[in-house]
Amino acid sequence: MTISSYKNPFIECTARDMSYEEVFRFWCSPFGCYRLDEGQLFSSHTPLIIEGARGSGKTMILKYLSYFCQKEVALDKKEEDVVGYICKKGGIGFYYRYNAHFDKLIHDLSCSDEVKKELFCYYYDLFLSLEILNVLEDIQKNLYVDPKEMDLLADRICSALALEDRDIKNMKETISEWTYEIDEWIRNYKYYSGSEERLKNMIHGSDMVRKLCNCIKSCISRFKNVELLILIDEYENVKYFQEITNTWIRRVDSLSACSYRIGTRPQGISTYNTEFSEEIRDGRDFILCPLNCVNMKSYKEFIKEVTFRRLNKIEFFKENSLTDITRILGTRENFDDEASRIVQNKERDIFDKLHIPENVIDYLWCEGHPLMQMMNIVWYLRGKQPEMIQKAQNAYLSGTADKYSEDTVLKEAHKYKLDYSGKYRLQLLCVLCGLYKVSKSYYSFNTFAYLSTGVVNDFISLCRNTFYHLDNMDLEDLLEGKTISVRIQTKGAEDTANEQLNQIQVTDEFGSEMYNFAMNIGYEFEIMHKDIQSKYPETTQFAFENEAEIDADKRIKAIKDCMIKWGVIQKKSRRQRISIGMKKGNLYNLNKIFMPIFNMSYRTRGGFNYVLKKSMFESLLGDKNQGNDEEETDDGFRQMNLFEEGFVQ
Amino acid sequence: MRENSVRMIQIDQGDFFLQDMDCFLFSFSREERCLKVLNLLHRENIKIKKLILIWYEKYDGVTISDQLQSELQTCADSLQIIKCNMSNEGQDGVELSRTGIGKNDQVGFDITGFAIPDVFRILYVLNRIMGIDSINVFYTEPKYYCYQNGLFTTYTKNAGKCSYKVIEEYNNSGSGKKEILICFLGFDRNISKYVYDEVLPYEIVVVNGFPSYLPKLKDISLVNNYELITTVGRDKVISSRANSPYAAYNCLKNVAKRYDEELMNICVLGTKPMALGAALYALRNLRKVKISFPFPEKYRSDSSAETGESWCYQINI
């Protein structure tokens, strides 16, 4: 297949813009990768809240639970009894994505809070009712259940929702018309007096979703023991009305006809309050299901499968058997090659840069192995004797390093081995980049997997931006068995990092503060990565000295939560020692997707972490360069005149 | 809308004829071009009964001096100033609806000094609330756009954070219909990608202003929207003339043919004539369309310099 049939397989990468059919087509089971139980997702009557970072696959999972996606699955399996197949799974899902701008629209209306709440609930009822009717219409059309039961159901729905027409299509039209009436009210309410009174006459009922679910349960015998699942995606967008939606979750009990599956980002639930005095609680009112990867191995398997599906749908890749992403990107990076590219036979320059005395150079000199030489220099700068460094290096190279030996050299060689082959390798590379003033390269499947930190969509974005730079020559190289060049992969990683950071900057929820924090703390970490003595190797984690103090400040806490929600920082799932010799607490890391901006390591290293006092945190949220930019003042502003050339009578 | 079925008159070159006006609506930022049309009308002795100036606080550093106020008073029988504060988006529309402009009045509306969401809102109020179908819309093109340090990737019209929202007057929840985002590209970097990420539509159509005011501008808009275009793919980009509302209108009409069943979410980040075309289309198709915009905290009041050509679009909604 020729290069002309090439198309970037990674454009349009999110589940949000996929149809149910596409979700099915691209579906890769995440149940091996995340700690999630498929059976529980379908059949638990207790509401489940699926919490995962932006792009981690929540939407894909929720859409997968929906009736329309399960129908595709059943048809693909050639199941004759589609509804029977779905019933066996234990639940039928009705998917609804909650739009952020819809929330803002209602919140910003110039009307009373009571009216806003009423509008919110009514809209929600209308949207979801429409989706439920869509499912019922499909079931009726395909004769998936007994027509007599469907007739009975139509009667019950008519009476419950005060609808006149028994035909489901017409019911949908009526609901659409009701929705349009409310849309129109919003367009015009500001301009007419008595609008709020008029609205009351336009609301045709309440609690419609619950009523519909009751009708379904009471009329369709096959659904009696099946969970009717309201799948609410992007719950974090329900900012101003979460007390209402929390109340719905709280109300689910053994008598309820429906349950909920909620998708939200970490910190997406801004309040646990309900409209009553009680809060909703994990383990009682809902079960929290965080989308945490079991381990890196399973995550890698998962993303390999995800990318295979995408590559396989493009002729160029399919026909040329280029469907294995590890083969296209390369399995893992080669630090020695990268180091050699950085120094480009100018290994001796480094001694001049660091003013290392001539008589020492020969002990540290290591031709053709710039990383090892860098290791020697770091040891020397830390005060080790040059002769001992050379001996330890030689012993390591000859394979005689021995932790338990009484010979100091062999013991030192063991330390050398640990430092060089594992602990400091990537750090040394970063130092080398700093000294030679070149950018760190980011390439290979392994690197991209680490940069994306368990967020599938970030991995896809890395691939998309990399593939975007491919030209015909690169494609020919791929056909010849080469991997995509380091340069192009690095460019793709940098583009992704910048794209995500820029996107954060423009958000209305503390966009500048989040951007400033990422840039400022990234800069602090970058300095540590360049530290010639490598005192704090590969530091990318931080903690708060007194997190209670941070949380007591409403604004600062809101910013911190927002950074977690937007994935600027990631919170470790378990409490750990916040730094060497310090108490236990929450640890955070700067999202690794930003690492290419700062030429930093994608790995997570324990030990030392950056500990922030509140004042320091506040300062990192501000623009450190403030005041340096050219600021316009009104002094230079000239009031315009209508008549430039004098007054015209 | 066929372009030749509506009049588009260049009013800064040679003769043109316009009727006297009952009302002339305008606003201004710190850009010279905002007052050019009024100046031209005054020079041509076109009588205006009522001049309505909408003064937005959201434009940085805009003030009205006594001298300007007295100059404006010479242009019309009366001058009304509507001051809109930062916190009340939509105040302009409400105040305008109370000005007593009649259904059959001759109305002129100079969109040059208005922000795009305000152009949409005011046209809605004039047409849907006040019942005015026929309006002379004026617009003066900029001569240059201002780039910080001369770099075109630094162009910015918006200042501060953005909040993507539907313009209330064009609200349409779509009743479960699939949503198509039609995004007219502007020069603000990252904004189009932000809009796309907020909407994440079923499908997107990206409209680039081509032919543009200046040949290089079409490329600048592609470069400044690189993030969006690489995300959605180049095949989603179509063109529409940057200075023609009718081209924008026809472009939307063609898109609508392709997406007959879907809800069209139109977001104009491009030029004001494009916004005008989109507004005309929306006002005629309110059941099918919603209009949204990434509302910034503030607008830069000097994102372009000097004045280009001035136009009058005689529209019938």
Could you write out the three-class secondary structure of A62-84?
HHHHEHHHHHHHHHHCCCCCHHH
pLDDT band at A630 (very low <50, low <70, confident <90, very high): very low
| Structure letter (DSSP) for residue A90 | T
> Residue A645 — very low, low, confident or very high, per pLDDT cuts 50/70/90?
very low
Residue B50: helix, strand or coil by DSSP?
A: strand
Chain A residue numbers with beta carbons less than 8 Å from the beta carbon of B68 are: 639-642
Which of B128, B197, B286 is the closest to A503 by Cβ? B197
Query: Comparing A474-483, A497-506, B8-17, B156-165, which segment has the lowest mean pLDDT?
Result: B156-165
Question: A431 by DSSP, 3-state: which?
Answer: helix
Name which of A379, A375, A374, A383 is nearest A353 in CA terms.
Answer: A374
Kindly identify which residue of chain A lies nearest to residue B164, measuring between CA atoms. A101
Restricting to A residues 112-131, those with a Cβ less than 8 Å away from any Cβ of B are: 123, 126-127, 130-131
* A180 at B interface, C-beta within 8 A: yes
Residue A246 burial by Cβ neighbours in a 10 Å radius (0-12, 13-18, 19+): buried
Q: ipTM of this model?
A: 0.89
| Number of helices followed by number of strands (H, E) in chain A | 31, 11
pTM of the model: 0.85
Of A46-50, A63-67, A265-269, A632-636, the poorest mean pLDDT is in A632-636
- pLDDT band per the 50, 70, 90 thresholds, residue A636: very low
Q: What is the pLDDT of residues A474-528, one digit of tens each?
A: 999 999 999 999 999 999 999 999 989 988 888 888 888 999 999 999 999 999 9
- A20: CB partners within 8 A, 6+ apart: A63, A66, A68, A69, A71, A72
> What backbone phi and psi angles, to 5 degrees, belong to A273?
-65, 155
Contact between A260 and A230 under an 8 Å Cβ cutoff? The reply is yes
Determine the Cα–Cα distance for residues B301 and B275; give it in Å rounded to an integer: 18
CB-nearest to A187 from B97, B171, B232 is: B171
Q: What is the mean pLDDT of chain B?
A: 85
A574 touches chain B (CB under 8 A): no
Name the band, by pLDDT with cuts 50, 70 and 90, for residue A388: very high
Positions of E strands within chain B: 7-10, 21-27, 48-56, 78-84, 107-110, 134-145, 158-166, 179-184, 203-209, 237-240, 263-268, 289-299, 304-316
Query: B290 and B166 in contact (C-beta within 8 Å)?
Result: yes
Judge: A101–B164 Cβ closer than 8 Å, yes or no. Answer: yes
Local confidence band at A12 (pLDDT 50, 70, 90 cut-offs): low
Q: Which residues of B touch A108 (CB under 8 A)?
A: 89, 165, 168
**Nearest partner of A540 among A508, A513, A562, A572, judged by Cα:** A572
Q: What is the DSSP letter of A423?
A: I
Nearest to B162 among A109, A123, A508 (CB): A508
**CB-based contact A642:B39 (threshold 8 Å):** yes
> Using CA atoms, how far apart are residues A13 and A313, in angstroms rounded to an integer?
13
Q: Does the beta-carbon distance from A642 to B71 stay under 8 Å?
A: yes
Q: Determine the residue of chain A that is closest to B227 in CA distance.
A: A499
Percent of chain B with pLDDT over 70: 86
Structure confidence at residue A632 (pLDDT): 42
Q: Does the distance separating the beta carbons of B232 and A190 come in below 8 Å?
A: no
Query: CA A603, CA B33: separation in Å to the nearest integer?
Result: 54
HSE-CB at A451 with a 13 A cutoff on CA atoms is 34
Helix (H) or strand (E) holding A214: helix A208-219
pLDDT in tens, A305-317: 999 999 998 999 9
Q: What is the pLDDT of residue A628?
A: 41
**pLDDT band (50, 70, 90) for residue B217:** low
Per-residue model confidence as pLDDT tens digits over A433-457: 999 999 999 999 999 999 999 899 9
Going from the N-terminus, what domains does chain B have, and what CATH number goes with each?
3-145+304-316 (3.40.50), 150-299 (3.40.50)
Q: How confident is the model at residue B160 (pLDDT cuts 50, 70, 90)?
A: low
Q: Which of B34, B176, B292 is opposite residue A127, by nearest beta carbon? A: B176
Alpha carbon distance B228, B208 (integer Å): 12
The pLDDT confidence band at residue B149, using thresholds 50, 70 and 90, is low
3-class secondary structure, A109 = coil
A431 or A14, higher pLDDT: A431
Mean pLDDT, rounded, for A52-64: 92
Site from B43, B68, B175 to mutate, A interface, most A CB atoms within 10 angstroms: B175
**Among B123, B32, B111, B39, which residue's Cα sits nearest to residue B305?**
B32
Predicted confidence band of residue A90 (pLDDT cuts 50, 70, 90): very high
Q: Provide the β-strand partners of residue A97.
A: A233
What are the distances in angstroms from CA A100 to CA A237, A303, A586? 5, 28, 29
Helix (H) or strand (E) holding A259: strand A258-264
Inspect the interface and report whether the beta carbons of B89 and A108 lie closer than 8 Å: yes
Q: What is the pLDDT of residue A69?
A: 96
Task: Say if CB B16 and CB B312 are below 8 A apart.
Answer: yes
**What local confidence, expressed as pLDDT, does residue B226 receive?**
83
**What is the pLDDT at residue B143?**
72
In order of A375, B150, B186, B308, the CA distances from B219 in angstroms are: 48, 16, 11, 20
Asked if A517 and A568 count as a contact pair (C-beta separation under 8 A), the reply is yes
B28 Cβ under 8 Å from any chain A Cβ: yes
Query: Closest approach of chain B CAs to the CA of A394, in angstroms?
Result: 50
- Identify the band that residue B144 occupies on the pLDDT scale cut at 50, 70 and 90: low
Local structure of residue A324 (DSSP, 8 states) = -
Which residues numbered 92-151 in B keep a CB inside 8 Å of some CB on A? 93-94, 97, 124-125, 128-129, 148
Q: How far apart are CA A194 and CA A115, in angstroms?
A: 13
* Strand ranges across the sheet with A48-51: A91-97, A227-233, A258-264, A48-51, A287-290
Phi, psi of A52 (to 5 degrees): -155, 155
Q: Given this model, what pLDDT does residue B214 score? A: 63
A 491-510 residues inside an 8 A Cβ radius of B: 495, 499, 502-503, 505-508
CA distance A120 to chain B (A): 12
Chain A residues inside the 8 Å CB shell of B172: 180, 183
* B105 confidence band (pLDDT: 50, 70, 90): very high
Cβ <8 Å between A12 and B65: no
B230–A506 C-beta distance less than 8 A: no
Give B4→chain A minimum CA distance, Å. Answer: 32
Minimal Cα–Cα distance from B174 to chain A, Å?
8
Residue A464 confidence (pLDDT) above 90: yes
Over residues A361-389, the mean pLDDT reads 91
Contact (Cβ atoms closer than 8 angstroms) between residue A221 and residue A35: no
Check CB contact of A187 with chain B, cutoff 8 Å.
Answer: yes
Average pLDDT over residues B227-233: 85
* Angstrom distance (rounded) from CA A452 to CA A303: 10
Distances in whole angstroms, Cα of residue A455 to Cα of each of A52, A291, B83, B316: 9, 9, 48, 51
pLDDT, tens digit, for every residue of A593-618?
999 999 999 988 888 899 999 999 99
The answer to whether B253 faces chain A, any CB pair under 8 Å, is: no
Between positions 187 and 226 of B, the ones with CB within 8 A of A are: 189-191, 193-194, 197-203
Evaluate if residue A634 carries a pLDDT over 90: no
d(CA B59, CA B29): 6
- Average pLDDT of the residues of chain A: 90
Spatial separation of the C-alpha atoms in residues B87 and B81, rounded to whole Å: 18
CB contact under 8 A, A506 and B202: no
For residue A484, give the DSSP letter: P
pLDDT of residue B216: 62
